[in-house]
Amino acid sequence: MTTIGDQQLLKRMNRSVLLRLLRAQPGLSRARLATESGLTKSTVSLLARELIDEGWLSEADTAVADGLGRPSTPLQINVGVRALMGVEIAVETVRLVCVSLQGEVLYSNTHALTDSAPAGVCAQVARMAAIGHAMLQRLGLQLSSIGVCVPGAVDDCTGVVRFAPNLGWRNVSLLPALEKAFGAVGLPGVTVQLQNDADAAALGEYEFAAGERRAGQPDAQGQDGEDPLIFVNCDVGVGAGVVLNDRLFTGAQGMAGEIGHTILELDGPRCSCGRRGCAEAFFGSRVLERQGADLQRAAAFFGVLLQNLWVTFNPRAIVLGGKACADHPGFAQAAFESVKRHADGAGMPPPDLRTARYGALAPAVGAAALALHEYLRPLQPDAKARRARALARAVA
Ligand SMILES: [Zn+2]
């Protein structure tokens, strides 16, 4: 790596430190930022000026007195320049959101999925994105990135959907097709990212922890945010997204968290994947909608799955979302109670259990968070670098 590269990386890291501090604690002054970040005051001043000029930060109009009576100007994330777009391609629905850099939903739009063939899906998503983009232009906001999520295993090195059984997809090269479709409707050439729906939802809950402990803001015990965090998406399919050590854990091929196909009963009911007794066959949303479905029994099986996730990852938080939880609030509650009983049985405190902050929009909002998450972590290889490496391997 050249010297120039090193210096640029160092600068990006320092910039991201300031942005993450101000997301967690809006209103910090330059002096407080220097104390909290360990950077010198002159470095903070230089970077803050740059971030203000580029529209990432804004200053309050009036200075306030700091602890020693000296005037200081509070800084905050500027939500008036950039916006992020997120799209969830679900089995029956497409949901699109535009959110601010702080996770505020500025616009949302939901349509039935009209055609589940990949080309039809890309065209529908692009039409909805063009309408969302026009709305952002009316608000005077600039589109920064588009994140898209799907109900299946995604190889984020190549942008290929490996397997999405409920859409009938296998090895669909979706990301290049989406980029082409966005270009065809005249969207600006921004970063486009693809991820699994539960993974995206986990990231959204983690990145946009409004008013609560955020990533980068330690609690009284010095613990950093809700990490590990597990998002369980209980929809037609059942999947989990895992945030571990400040990043998504997706496994070697993007298959991590496919918990809908963990087997909860030998020789149980037949599942969409061909196996018997999978979690999805007990409490996928279509199973719960069947006449005479036993919600109590389904919730007990759901509780077993959550208990197993808890002892596998020891998360700080388990967040539930998806159609099954939204349509049957008693179902999620009964599953929570079941986890608490299992915890009591072992004399252990249960993990923090809650439902999705963004409700049905959780995967779409999380998809919007993908690019921001990457931008704020310059030391992690970004999606573009991972794709380039995968391509190099393929032609070598
Ligand atoms: Zn299965």
Mean pLDDT of the chain: 90
Mean pLDDT within 190-203 = 96
Query: Model confidence at 274, in pLDDT bands (50, 70, 90)?
Result: confident
Distance 301 CA to ligand 1 centre (A): 14
pLDDT at 224 over 50: yes
| CATH code at 3-77 | 1.10.10.10
Mean pLDDT within 250-260 = 86
Distance 285 CA to ligand 1 centre (A): 14
Place of tokens 């998002």: 231
CA distances from 358 to 97, 103, 209 (A): 11, 10, 10
Distance 269 CA to ligand 1 centre (A): 10
Distance 237 CA to ligand 1 centre (A): 9
Distance 262 CA to ligand 1 centre (A): 7
Distance 205 CA to ligand 1 centre (A): 26
**What is the side-by-side strand order in the sheet with 247-249?**
247-249, 238-244, 229-234, 317-321, 352-355
Query: Model confidence at 394, in pLDDT bands (50, 70, 90)?
Result: low
Mean pLDDT within 98-105 = 96
Distance 242 CA to ligand 1 centre (A): 20
Distance 255 CA to ligand 1 centre (A): 13
Q: What CATH homologous superfamily does 209-356 map to? A: ATPase, nucleotide binding domain (3.30.420.40)
Mean pLDDT within 70-80 = 89
Distance 161 CA to ligand 1 centre (A): 18
| Sequence ranges of the domains in the chain | 3-77, 82-201+363-395, 209-356
pLDDT at 211 over 90: no
Tell me, what's the pLDDT at 292?
87
Tell me, what's the pLDDT at 137?
97
The answer to whether the predicted template modeling score (pTM) of the entire model surpasses 0.75 is yes
3-77 and 82-201+363-395 share one CATH topology?
no
Q: Nearest 5 degrees, angle CA 331-CA 337-CA 339? A: 105
40 phi, psi to nearest 5 deg: -75, 160
pLDDT in tens, 360-390: 999 999 999 999 999 998 877 677 677 776 6
Distance 122 CA to ligand 1 centre (A): 27
Residue 168 in contact with residue 115, Cβ under 8 Å? no
Tell me, what's the pLDDT at 67?
67
Q: What class, spelled out in words, does domain 82-201+363-395 have in CATH?
A: alpha beta
